[in-house]
Amino acid sequence: MFNFLLQTTPAVGASNMMAQIFPFMLIGLVFYFLLIRPQNKRMKEHKTMLAAVTRGDTIVTNGGLIGKVTKVADGELTVDLGNSVKVKIVASMIADVRNKNTPANDTAKK
């Protein structure tokens, strides 16, 4: 009886193996387009934003502090928070740069 069962089981072929691997490849592709690619794009935009920070820019930190940049060093910024309170922050902790030169609402130009 055991020999009969062994004889009737099909051998694993290349097409059957491809059918087993395809779902994993599909999951990997979905992960790339939904998670990895947007994160890399966001990191690239953040790096360009950090490279463009200059003295006089208004910034928002990840902690929610808003201040004006008074000094830009090699990875550190000195920020004036108001009332002559100056703090040093790490440049990678900037969440947003609000330039005083950029218009806040450009719909009036139409």
Tens digits of residue pLDDT in 26-85:
999 999 999 999 999 999 999 999 999 999 999 999 999 999 999 999 889 999 999 989
Q: Are 59 and 97 within 8 A, CB to CB? A: yes
Please report which confidence band the pLDDT of residue 10 belongs to, taking 50, 70 and 90 as the band edges: low
- CATH class of the domain defined by 54-103: mainly beta
- The Cα–Cα gap between 22 and 24 comes to 5
Strand partners, 83: none
* Length, in residues, of the chain: 110
Checking DSSP bridges between strand 94-98 and strand 76-80, what pairing results, if any?
A: unpaired
Q: Is the pLDDT of residue 96 over 60?
A: yes
Q: Quote the pTM value.
A: 0.67
Q: Are 66 and 79 within 8 A, CB to CB? A: no
Q: Are 50 and 91 within 8 A, CB to CB? A: yes
Q: Is 109 left (phi over 0), alpha (psi -120 to 50) or beta?
A: alpha
Q: What dihedral do alpha carbons 50, 73, 99, 66 form, nearest 10°?
A: 90
